Amino acid sequence: MKLKGQHLLSVKDISLDLINELFIVADSMRPYATRQKVTRVLEGAVLGNMFFEPSTRTRVSFGCAFNLLGGEVRETTGLSNSALAKGESLYDTAQVLSGYSDIIAMRHPEAESVAEFALGSRVPVINGGDGPNEHPTQALLDLFTIQNELTSQGKTIQQLSLTLLGDLKHGRTVHSLCQLLALYNGLKIQLISPAELAMPTRYVDLLINAGHQVEIGTTLEQGLPQANIIYQTRIQEERFSSQEEANLYRGYFRLNKQIYAEHCQSNAVIMHPLPRDSRNEANELDNDLNAEPGLAIFRQTDNGILVRMALFACILGVEDQVTKHERNVNWYVGLNN
Ligand code: NCD
């Protein structure tokens, strides 16, 4: 596959053919992700998991995905705990860490920093989020989830009517997702945000030029009724110049059971890259939606493992050898099956 030996820094390098191939590999990872089987295909390989910005699921799922393929994980978290805080350049850090790893996943607060890091790396680098810029693996797992959710409703991606909701200005997950969606055409996409937090024009233009029907709005009522998939996002408080400014938008769009029942299609799917801000003043996705079958947020996080396993297997060129290194598990496997 084209991914072998390559960096994954942006979704710009990804084609529709590659997505389709990758998603077939992701599907084949299910027995390992659900612990029916173990594979040791990456035994001896080392992932450098370098997270210089807060993360729970992205960091842990990169590590977990690598472990599930039999590889080992070395981690560093937080800028202040690393030599970057002593003035070391990204280039030098990359030269050093790539000597210790077969592949590196990295998150950093500055846009383009992961690409700069990759210039100094001797091994493939995966962008785990670079400031407000991109989050390619999240976009891939979001697209994988969108396809799966539509399939389970007997629909294809061509029937997608997607509403992106919230902080579309700073949200890197929606920036990357829009670029992937621009590979398709004729979809319905609603972009709903406070006016000041609108989707940057370059991504809107990309969607329009791809032939999508794009609507832009500022109220929930403009975005919810026509959507079969609603993608809520968090106000990205860490990207604002002050906490006071971020507070202006906290709680701007709140989804709960009552709003869902009143404004959404009966089987509308709700997605969110997570974390959802559950503090009272925000409560963007209420806990009273937890039992709603349309709430796909934890199917999304489970899918993150499949997609990241597929990426590791393809980038390291072992996607055809996974089953050769498998065996059944002999421990209690909980509810994963
Ligand atoms: C997102 C991120 O870090 O961009 N989280 C994630 O990786 N799943 C979204 C967010 O932090 O709001």
- What pLDDT shows up at residue 333? 83
CATH number of the 11-134+302-328 domain: 3.40.50.1370
Q: Does the pLDDT of residue 335 top 80, yes or no? A: no
Q: Does the pLDDT of residue 67 top 90, yes or no? A: yes
60 alpha carbon – ligand 1 mean position (Å):
13
Q: Does the pLDDT of residue 185 top 70, yes or no? A: yes
Q: Is 170 in the pocket of ligand 1 (CB under 6 A)?
A: no
Nearest to 182 by CA among 26, 21, 20, 12: 12
pLDDT digits over 274-310, tens only? 999 999 999 999 999 999 999 999 999 999 999 999 9
Separation between Cα atoms, residue 163 and residue 206, nearest integer Å:
16
Confidence of residue 130 (pLDDT cuts 50, 70, 90): very high
> Angle, to 10 degrees, between the axis of helix 201-209 and the axis of helix 172-181?
20
> Average pLDDT for residues 59-76, to the nearest whole number?
97
Whether domain 136-298 has CATH 3.40.50.1370? yes
- What pLDDT shows up at residue 78? 79
Strands 37-39 and 326-328: antiparallel
Q: Does the pLDDT of residue 331 top 90, yes or no? A: no
Separation between Cα atoms, residue 316 and residue 119, nearest integer Å:
19
> Average pLDDT for residues 77-87, to the nearest whole number?
78
Q: Does the pLDDT of residue 76 top 70, yes or no? A: yes
Q: Is 133 in the pocket of ligand 1 (CB under 6 A)?
A: no
Q: Is 150 in the pocket of ligand 1 (CB under 6 A)?
A: no
Ligand 1 probe mutation, 57, 135, 236, most atoms within 8 A of CB: 135
- What pLDDT shows up at residue 100? 97
- Going along the chain, which residue ranges are E strands? 37-39, 46-51, 72-77, 103-108, 125-130, 161-165, 188-192, 213-217, 229-232, 269-271, 326-328
- What pLDDT shows up at residue 313? 98
Nearest to 1 by CA among 326, 308, 312: 312
Q: Is 10 in the pocket of ligand 1 (CB under 6 A)?
A: no
- What pLDDT shows up at residue 195? 97
**Ramachandran sector of residue 87 (left: φ over 0; alpha: ψ -120 to 50; beta: rest):** left
Amino acid letter at 312? F
173 alpha carbon – ligand 1 mean position (Å):
7
- What pLDDT shows up at residue 54? 86
Q: Does the pLDDT of residue 86 top 90, yes or no? A: no
Ligand 1 nearest atom to the CA of residue 53, by list position: 3
Ligand 1 probe mutation, 173, 238, 240, 285, most atoms within 8 A of CB: 173
- DSSP conformational letter for 295: B
> Average pLDDT for residues 99-111, to the nearest whole number?
97
- What pLDDT shows up at residue 83? 76
Q: Fold match between 11-134+302-328 and 136-298?
A: yes
pTM: 0.96
Report how far apart the first and last C-alpha atoms of the chain are (Å, whole number): 29
For the chain, give the mean pLDDT.
95
pLDDT digits over 139-179, tens only? 999 999 999 999 999 999 999 999 999 999 999 999 999 99
Amino acid letter at 91? Y
pLDDT digits over 251-282, tens only? 999 999 999 999 999 999 999 999 999 999 99
Separation between Cα atoms, residue 285 and residue 232, nearest integer Å:
8
Q: Is 107 in the pocket of ligand 1 (CB under 6 A)?
A: no
> Average pLDDT for residues 113-132, to the nearest whole number?
97
226 alpha carbon – ligand 1 mean position (Å):
26
Separation between Cα atoms, residue 228 and residue 153, nearest integer Å:
10
| DSSP secondary structure letters along 113-134 | HHHHHHHT-SS-EEEEEETTTB
- What pLDDT shows up at residue 136? 98
Q: Does the pLDDT of residue 337 top 60, yes or no? A: no
Task: Give me the helices (H) in 210-295, please.
Answer: 220-223, 243-247, 257-263
Nearest to 248 by CA among 194, 301, 311, 202: 194
Domain-by-domain residue ranges, the chain?
A: 11-134+302-328, 136-298
Percent of the chain's residues with pLDDT above 70: 99
